[in-house]
Every structure is written in structure tokens, then in C-alpha cells.
Amino acid sequence: MRKFAASQAESIIRSIPMPVYLPVEKEGLVEYARYEEGVKLALDTCKTEKSPKDVLFPQWEDLMHFRVEGKNITLTEQERCSQDYVLFGARACDIRAFKVLDKVFLADPVDTYYAARRQHGIIVAMACGEPLDSCFCGVFGVDPAEPEADVILWKVGEEYYADSRTEKGKKLLDSWPTQPAEEAPVKAAKADIAKKLDSKPFAHLNLKGFDGDHMKELFASPKWKQLSLACLGCGSCTFACPTCQCYDIRDYDTGHGVQRYRCWDSCMYSDFTLMAAGTPRPTQLERYRQRFMHKLVYFPANNDGMYSCVGCGRCVRKCPMNLNIVKVIKALGEGNK
Amino acid sequence: MPVTEKNWTPKIVAFCCNWCSYAGADLAGSGRLSYPADIKIIRVPCSCRVNPLFILRAFERGADGVIICGCHPGDCHYTSGNYYARRRMTLLFSMLDYLGIERGRTRVEWVSAAEGGKFSNTMNEFARTITELGENRKLGDLRCK
Amino acid sequence: MQVIANAIKKRALELLADGTVARVLGWQPGEQQSDWSPALFESADDMKDFVYGKYAGANLSKTCLKFNKAEGKTLVVLKPCDALSFNQLLKEHRLNRDKFYIIGAGCKGMEDENGLLLKCQCCKGKTFEVFDEVIDDEESRRLPPSDRFEQVARLEKMTHQERFDFWRSELSRCIRCNACRNVCPACTCQKCVFDNPDSGVAAKANTTDFEENMFHIIRAFHVAGRCTDCGECSRVCPQHIPLHLLNRKFIKDIDELYGDYQAGIGEEERTPLTTYTKTDADPGVVHERGNE
Amino acid sequence: MNKESLVPVLGVVTDVRVDTPDVKTFRVNALTGGKCFEHKPGQCAMLSIPGVGEAMFSITSSPTNEEYMEFSIKKCGCLTTWLHQMEVGQQIAIRGPYGNAFPVDGDLKGQNLLFIAGGIGLAPLRSVINYVRDNRKDYGNIDIVYGSRSKEDLVDYPEITNEWCKEAGISVHLTIDRAEEGWDGHVGFVPSYVTELGFNPDGRVLVCGPPIMIKFVLQALDKLGYDHKQVYTTMELRMKCGIGKCGRCNIGSKYVCKDGPVFRFDQLGELPDEY
């Protein structure tokens, strides 16, 4: 266990000899961005507007480039990420979300664009000091005091306590000017976090009944109609969600070549499953149902019970109509009657 | 090929109404009046056909200026098309201005079928304005450069 | 507000019981204090969740489109500003008046967890444009008047570069979730121009700055003259982009150039962009107005 | 499996055959000759035209064909319209093979096979039919019921009449929806023809065609005494990645591109009804 003064944080970040992505405040909104001289750090922000999903899986990225000449095509692949970088200050829920993304992108066949970024990232996590009312990560087994990262930071008073969990984390931590520290203050901080989280309104949601065995029953529930009524079919929830990973692949003709890029997509959009012959999900009810069934039923059925929700609560804050996964869990779960 | 400062010449799109301005352009041609070759004319049935999307798409694809030419007010082949276009374009140009896009990049001119001279003068003058404004950097798609 | 809420609920129950309406469109409370959602109530039993009050900010007029062809009448609770949107949809023949029973609900300004909604800070809903009955009290519709064009005018006074920087910094936050489009009661195209698969752009990611500008200019332009300034676009924006400033710019221009106009009023009047006068100013007028 | 799974290889169109007014069959070779990759009957590939897009098509040719791959494509949307404009020599981007295959080495082996196809639904089945013909001794009798709107909409008509009809152990039953001049075969919809023909409910059934046809064929098969475990179909949903990641072909816990497109009907019955 090491420690350093909170006032030293920026100089440490500045000294890291590779790109650093961290929560930055701009116009009152906190988002992950690359560190540059003069940005306003917001390391204590519990919940950034969007998750750090962008760092591993950007909202849009080029995949390849075509040149078409007559009947001939030449194809150039986009280069994969080849530089190490640091994701600084990520929270436990967002890091758990990476494990969910791993299940999708690192499953055979491996998505090499994602895999390269995943491999080159060093994650310095921040334990949550002040969970918000919309937080319910504990429901999904996430411990906000012990993120699954390379280096973990705990803020105690005006000091950061740091400990590494992996070899590359240790190497990074060793390069910082830190002092040796006791375990005890961190233990106390962890207990404090657990107590705070436990007092949050959604901390005791019950997930009983959300599993593959209840798939058809949940699918056929008449409650979806009322739940989805106000849904606008916008993509706020999916774009803010740290685990939503659906994407679209598009071609853009630049006039001197064709760029094939991929961008985030949302199952909430009407053209998501649209084919020339029609769509199997013609109304918002089906699209809304798909999103939550996928997170709470289909995904766990395929991944040994791992839910595709980490309880970050961003959808609770973002949905313009105040629809969210908490409402679905309460309405359909057996344990919340 | 990427455009560098040195070899930059303005790219201008001119939407011309079929009945007046396009004929005006024809007349300018047959009268051997010159106007810059960088002006690409797109013939539309009426100035009213010009959707704001067309103008923005032109900028997206690398245009530095967009000019819309139609019949003089009152002379529209369809009686009132250019009156509607006039309102639309006024509002659109005002919005572009509001977003901080240079004012000179968009223009509407009324050119009749008999005004070959006006057509060529307008185009020459517009091309000069755009050359002075320089490359359009505020409203374009970098991938198309 | 509780008195109004109780009166609406009582009246809705009566109308449900006597068969005048088959369903009620209103609000239900959420998990936290202020997160109410639009909801449908189909029976007296459902109605126990019905609420009306200061967190009923959502405009229900677009949701009405879902019930235009439903069996029987739908009771919908509309605030004065919502009634403008509803009436605009009537004028565009998107809604069938006979299918709705409208209760005009008194409003004292709506709130969210951060206080009075942005759209209510320049309240313009003083009268009900369309209703079957109004449930109201003395204190309703008394929000102090304020100049809704103040911020637009401030922007107009800036230099081009300042304006450009302002909008770049605002619009660069856009994540293209399309919430502004989907919530807008004036955006009722069956298929949006941005969802055209042949357009070459994905309407779900801003691959360049241009896409951000493009989308928001066209979105605002397509509702110009029909936008009642209900303010839902800014309310729903998850990235807090002041989208109403684009719509209000169009409204301000229309008012200045073609005479005062409020969308959603009247029955047959044409919108400013579907009519003209022979003496309208030429587009060049833009170059002479304002700063620079 | 190719690790760079989103990056296609280039192929070249070496033959274009007009099958019906809206179906063309394209022969595709690798740029260096031969096939772009090996596949199993029932698998699919992503074809793309740069600038237009990418879509999943079933591979019509049999894996036993070692020279080339074929795709029968019906013109119905944006990309397919572009594909129909292709000429011989046109290069095309192709990636695959994707999805599972009909269990030709497993459950189908040694069985009598009944193929039921409607319209362009013959495309994926043709791959199996030709595979089975080339490994004739491993399978029992073959019945093929194939129907279309009209005579000219029957895909692969020359191959059916000149080759399939003439082979021992294969009975082909053709039908068209409405009577027309020059057609002396059966007239009527595929499901009712299946009932009329009255097959013995042994062996395995492979069905592909429009959803409405599949629905009624299934009812007809039920009446004949078939169990859903004997019936296979191949599905179509919108796909982008082809590798179970982009999320749009998700039905229940399955991804059609990865876990399908071939499903047995009893498996489909366990999934939510959303296809």
C-alpha cells in the first residue's frame, strides 16, 4: 500500500509518459477525455455523463478503407491501437462493464479492434467515496470499494491511498512519487463505502426471476405495454450505458474512396432490425422489451448468469421520460412485489 | 488528393432554376461571356426545389460557396415557387449566420432567361467573394477534403 | 396543485365509468421524487397511480399520435403550452379531434430536481387553445412574463467567431441519441429524412463536426414555423444542449421579417413558410441585419 | 475461423446467370482462382459493395463444388439492386463463412430427406441438395417440393429439370401458385401440395421460404405426423457483423448469425416469438 497527497494527483498524471484518459469537466458536464495541460480534472465525480466505454469502443471508428477503380477494389485495413495508455479514475461499475464487453468482443471470433485497445490499456481505478442515489451496483455484485483494475486508488481525507493488483499496475505505481502507507485507513474507508451504498434507495433490488428459465414468461408479460408507453425510441439509455455494445457498420463515400466505419447503434431505433421485407420488431414495445430482456435474461443465459447491467444508474438519470431498468426490475421481478 | 493552401481554388455550387437562370447561363455561354470554371451548375426545376439539405450537403462535400438562382419574383414558371424559396433561404441563411458561418458563402440571385450578362457578372463577383473568404473550414466534412 | 390533481382524477374516473373515454393519458410517479413519466390508465384500478403536479413536465401531445386510431376516445391532460402543440398537430391533420377528450390542466410552472424547467422560465401558455373542459384555479397560469428572445439576441450581438465557438462547444456534446427529434411534437414525419438509408450517413453517430451542425440545423429548420416553442427538445437533451435557442432564432426571425406568429393558434392559418407576400425581403437582408 | 472477422477478402464475379426476372445467380472466385473459403451446406457469407453496404447471403453452391461459390440473389432492396448491376469481372468484398450448417454429417445422415422450398428459399437448400447428391450413398430417398409464384419465378429451373429430375432416388414435385399457359404441372400453394402428396413422417424435413409459407407448411407437416424435431429451417434477420456481436439478429439467447441460421423447429419453439 502506498499513498500520495491529493494535491499531487495532477503532477503525477502529467508525468505519465503515455496518453491518459480521465474525467474532465467541460461546461458543467464531466466526461472522459484525454489529459491535456489546462483541463479541469474531476476525479471525484461519481458518475460521468457517458461511461468510459468510448475509450475501448469509440462511438465511431474506421475499420477499413476501399478504393474502387472500375471493376477493381483495393482494401486497406485501419491500423489497430498499438500504444499503451492509461485510463485514470474509472469506477468499479464501469470496469465491471468492461468485463461484460469482453464477453462479447473477446469471444471467438475475437474483435481485433477492441482487443488491441483492451490489451494496451492500464486501468487506474478510483474507489467510490460518495455513491449517488441512482447507484445500485451492489445489486449486480460490484464492490465500489474494490474495483477490478490494475491500480486502485482510495481517497481518504486529502490523500490518495494506492495499491496495485497486477504486474503492469505495479510498474506504473512504482514510477510515481509515493510514500508507504498503512492498510487501516483504507479498511475503514471500504467499510464506510459499503455502509453508504447500502443506504441508497435501489440498493436492495431483487433480481429473482430474471433468468433463462423465465424467458418466455417474462417475454409475454402484459406489463411491457405500460412500461414502454412513454419510450421515445431515442438512444440516450443505450449511448450512456457502459455495457450496451450493439453497433452498426456503415460505408461513407468520401468522393475519393470509401470508408467503412462502425458506430454505436441502439436497439431502440426503428431501423435497427429493418430489412427490405419489414422488421420483426415493428413497435417501440418490442424494441424496449428487447433491450431489457437482453440485459437481464438473454445475456445471463449465455454468460453463466452474468447480467449485462452493472447498476451504474446512468439510464436512471438520462432517460428523458424517466423510464429505466429499475422500473423494469421492480415491475417484472418476483422479489420486488 | 488533399487540398493544400497553394493549389486551393474555390469550389462553388450554383443551383439554377430550369426556366430562367439555367437559360440565362445558356445565354451567357452562347454570348461567349465568361465565368469561372469552378462553378458547378446544378439544374433544378424551380428555385423552390432547393432543399436546405442540398445546400448543407454541398458544403459537406467540399463546396466553399453555394448560390441559388431563380426567376425574378413574380416571374416564376410555377407562379409562386420563388416566393417560397425566398422565405426559406432567408431563414436558412440567417441560421447559418447565427451558427457563425461566414455570410458571404451563401447567396440568392434572381436571373432571368434574358440576363446572360447578369449571370456571368453575378458568378464572377460571387467567385471573387468566395476567393476572398478563403477555404470553407467551418462547415464541411473533413473526410471529403 | 393537489386540488387540481384531485379534480382531474375525479373527473377522469367519472368519464371512464360512464364510457365517454376508454383510456386516460396522464402521468405516474417514478422511483424518485421528481421522475414522473407519461402513462396510460385503462381502468379505475389503474387510476390509483395517476398523478398531476409540478413534475408533470412532459408534453403528452405527441404521445397522442399513438392513440389516434385506437378504439374509443382517449382522455388526455394538457397544460396550456401542450395544448398549443396539440392544436398544431390538429391543424396538420395528424390528430383526429373526435378521438380525444381534452382536460386543460392549470399549471404553475413545471419543475425537475433542479427547479423550474427551462421551458417554463419563459412561459407562454396563458390560454388553452383547445380543450373540452378546463380544470384550473386562481393561481394557475400566473408565471411572470419574461423575454424569451433575450439569449438569442445576446448571441446575435456576438461576433461570428464567438458564435461559432459557442455553438461548437455546445453541439460537440451531442451524442446523436435523437431524443430531441423523437420527443418533438412538430417532428411527426413517418420516416425522418435522417433515417433515409440512402443518405450515406448513419443518423446515430456524429462522425464529424459537420454531422452535428447539419443535424441540428435541419432539425430546427424542418419545424420552423410549426414549432410552438414547447421546449421539450432542451428538456430531454441528455447532454444539456440549449436546442431551444435554435428554434427561437427561427421564431424571432419569422416574427421580425414576416410579422408576429405563434404556431399552434387558430384553426386554418397557414404557417409562415407555407405562405408568402410579394414584398418579402430578399435573402440578402440577412447580411445587413445584426452584428458584423 | 478468420480472426480479422470484420475485414473481408476480395473476390471476383466470374459468371452471372439470370434465373428469373428478379433473381440472378453470381459465381464468385478468389482473385487467385478457386474459392474464397470453404464452407458447409447452409452457411452464409457477407457480400459487400464498397460505398453501398454489406449483407448476408446464403451460399447456394455445394461445398463439394471445388471450383467456385455461387450466390442466388433476389432483387429486393438497396444492396441487392446494386448487386444485380454487377457484370463479369467485377470485384466484390466477401467474408465468411458464417453461422452453423445443416447437420449433413449428423442428424441427416442415413435419413430420407424431404426438401420444401418456396421462391428464393431454394437458394440455401440447393447447397444441401447438391451436397447430398454428391454423397448419394449416405442418404436415403430424396423428395423435393418446390413452388413459386409462376413458372418463370422458379429458380434454377434448368438444373432441376435436366439434372435433379433425372436422377434415381430423387423425386421432384414442382408447383406454381396460379395456372398459366405452358405449365402442365401442379398448381397450388406449397403447403397444400405437401398435404396432397402425403409423405410418410419418417426421415428429416428441410424447409425454407417466405415466413407465411413456413408457418403453413409446419401445420401441414404436423397433420402428416411429423415431429418438430425432424424439421429444420434456415432463418433470415438483419445482420451487420455476422459474428454475434453487433446485436441485431438476437432472438432470445441466440444470435441468428452465429447460433443459426439453421434451427430445428423444436429449438425455435423455445425462443421468444420475434422473428
Q: What is the pLDDT of residue B2?
A: 53
Using the predicted structure, report yes or no on whether residue B139 has a pLDDT greater than 90. Answer: no
Low-confidence ranges of chain C (pLDDT < 50): none
**D169 touches A: beta carbon within 8 Å:** no
Q: Give pLDDT tens digits for A79-108.
A: 898 999 999 999 999 999 999 999 999 988
**Mean per-residue pLDDT, D160-178:** 87
Q: How far is A152 from chain C (nearest CA, A)?
A: 29
- Closest among C19, C23, C142, C109 to C74, alpha carbons compared: C23
* pLDDT over 60 at D2, yes or no: no
Instruction: Check pLDDT > 60 for residue A323.
Output: yes
Q: How confident is the model at residue B6 (pLDDT cuts 50, 70, 90)?
A: low
- Kindly state the DSSP code that residue D89 receives in the 8-state scheme: T
Q: What is the CATH number of the domain that holds B23?
A: 3.40.50
Q: Please check whether residues D158 and D195 belong to one and the same domain.
A: yes
Cell of A192: 464506510
C interface test, pick of B59, B83, B94 with most C CB neighbours within 10 Å:
B94
Alpha-carbon distances, residue A329 vs A206, A334, D258 (angstroms): 8, 9, 29
Q: What average pLDDT score do residues D105-133 get?
A: 90
pLDDT at C124: 78
- At least 3 CB pairs under 8 A between chains A and B: yes
| Total domains in the fold of chain B | 1
pLDDT at residue C290, as a whole number: 59
Phi, psi of D114 (to 5 degrees): -120, 120
What single DSSP character describes residue B115?
Answer: -
Q: Which residue of B76, B91, B143, B144 is the best one to mutate when testing the C interface, meaning the one whose CB has the most C CBs within 10 A?
A: B91
**More confident: C206 or A194:** A194
pLDDT at residue number C292? 52
Using a pLDDT cut of 70, give the percent of chain A over it: 99
Chain A: list its partners (3+ Cβ pairs within 8 Å). B, C, D
Q: How far is A50 from chain B (nearest CA, A)?
A: 25
- The beta-carbon neighbor of A267 closest among D247, D253, D272 is D247
The pLDDT tens digits of the residues spanning A258-308 come to 999 999 999 999 888 888 878 888 889 999 999 999 999 999 988 888 999
- Asked whether residue B39 is assigned to any structural domain, the reply reads yes
More confident residue, A276 or B5: A276
Using CA coordinates, name the residue in chain D closest to A220.
Answer: D272
Which A residues, 235 through 254, put their C-beta within 8 Å of a C-beta on chain B? Answer: 252, 254
Which site among B40, B59, B143 would you substitute to test the A interface, given the most A Cβ atoms closer than 10 Å to its Cβ? B143
Q: CA nearest A270 in D: which residue?
A: D248
Nearest to C56 by CA among C126, C8, C23: C8
Residues A235-251 have a mean pLDDT of: 92
By C-alpha distance, the chain A residue nearest D92 is A73
Q: Which residues of C touch B102 (CB under 8 A)?
A: 160
pLDDT the model gives residue B5: 59
Closest partner CB to D238 (pick from A107, A274, A293)? A274
Chain C residue set in contact with A, beta carbons under 8 Å: 30-32, 35-40, 58, 63, 66, 169-170, 173, 175-179, 181-183, 195, 197, 200-202, 204-207, 235-240
B11 to chain A nearest CA, in Å?
Answer: 14
Average pLDDT for A27-35: 90
Residue B1 confidence class, pLDDT cut points 50, 70, 90: very low
D215 with D135, same domain: the answer is: yes
Domain shared by D119 and D64, yes or no: no
3-state secondary structure of D70: strand
For residue C126, the model assigns a pLDDT of 79
Cβ A293 vs Cβ A302: under 8 Å:
no
Task: Answer with the residue of higher pLDDT: D122 or C203.
Answer: D122
Is D129 contained in some domain?
yes
Q: Does A250 touch chain D (CB under 8 A)?
A: yes
* Cβ contacts of C249-254, under 8 Å, gap ≥ 24: C249/B94, C249/B95, C249/B98, C249/C152, C249/C155, C249/C220, C250/B91, C250/B95, C250/C220, C250/C221, C250/C224, C250/C225, C251/C149, C251/C224, C251/C227, C252/C149, C252/C152, C252/C153, C253/B90, C253/B91, C253/B94, C254/B91, C254/C224, C254/C225
Looking at the fold, whether D25 and D128 belong to one and the same domain comes out as: no
Task: Check residue A127 and give its pLDDT.
Answer: 92
Contact C194, C203 (CB under 8 A): yes
User: Distance (Å) from the C-alpha of residue D243 to the closest C-alpha of chain A?
Assistant: 7
Contact with chain A for residue D215, Cβ under 8 A: no
State whether residue B16 sits within 8 Å of chain C by CB.
no
CB < 8 Å to B134, chain C: none
Angular region, B80: left φ>0, alpha ψ -120 to 50, beta rest = alpha
Question: What pLDDT shows up at residue D1?
Answer: 43
Q: What DSSP character marks residue B1? A: -
Burial of A158 per CB tally in 10 Å (0-12, 13-18, 19+): exposed
Q: Do A265 and D248 touch (CB under 8 A)?
A: yes
For residue D14, is it within any domain? yes
Which chains are within 8 Å of D by 3+ CB pairs? A
D210 part of a folded domain: yes
- CB atoms under 10 Å from CB of D269, counted, come to 11
How far C260 CA lies from chain B's nearest CA (Å)? Answer: 15
Kindly determine whether residue B61 and residue A255, on different chains, have CB atoms separated by under 8 Å. yes
Question: What CA–CA distance (Å, rounded) separates A310 from A226?
Answer: 25
Residues D46 and D82 in one domain: yes
Q: How confident is the model at residue A336 (pLDDT cuts 50, 70, 90)?
A: low
Interchain proximity A27–C169, CB inside 8 Å? yes
Give the domain range for residue D155.
113-234
Q: Which domain holds residue B18?
A: 12-144
Q: Is A324 on the interface with D (CB under 8 A)?
A: no
**Residue at D146 is within a domain:** yes
Q: Which residues contact D66 (CB under 8 A, 6 or more apart)?
A: D34, D35
Please report the ipTM that was assigned to this predicted complex: 0.89
Mean pLDDT of chain D: 89
Nearest by Cα to A282 from C190, D243, C146: C190
Contact A277/D at CB under 8 A: yes
